[in-house]
Amino acid sequence: MSAYVLRKIKIDSDALSEAVAAVATESAVEAWLAAHAELSDVEKLNQRISSVTIGMLGPESLALMGHFYDNIDQRPKSETVFELLEADDSRLG
């Protein structure tokens, strides 16, 4: 999904990696993105990606997610990917 978002906001992943390495804070990364990203349709993009559920993922995406989330097969198919990420963040934080 990250590659999809970067493509939609017209950010090269290598350029983003370089920017992240060059700055010291998250707010500096946010400022870099604000200056370099195409954000005119960001609300539409947010709505689209926030509605993706685990059940909508194809086999390749599920296999990739399985590398990071051991219980991906037991998660409800109606759970959004964002809900999964937020639950994981809560568990880690």
Compare 92 and 29 and report the one with higher pLDDT.
Answer: 29
What is the mean pLDDT of the segment spanning 44-68? 90
Residue 44: predicted pLDDT: 93
Domain boundaries of the chain, sorted by first residue: 1-39, 51-93
What is the mean pLDDT of the segment spanning 71-83? 91
93 has pLDDT over 70? no
74 has pLDDT over 70? yes
DSSP result, the chain: -HHHHHHHTT--HHHHHHHHHH-SSHHHHHHHHHHHS--TTHHHHHHHHHT-BGGG--HHHHHHHHHH-TTGGGS-TTSBHHHHHHHHHHHH-
18 has pLDDT over 90? yes
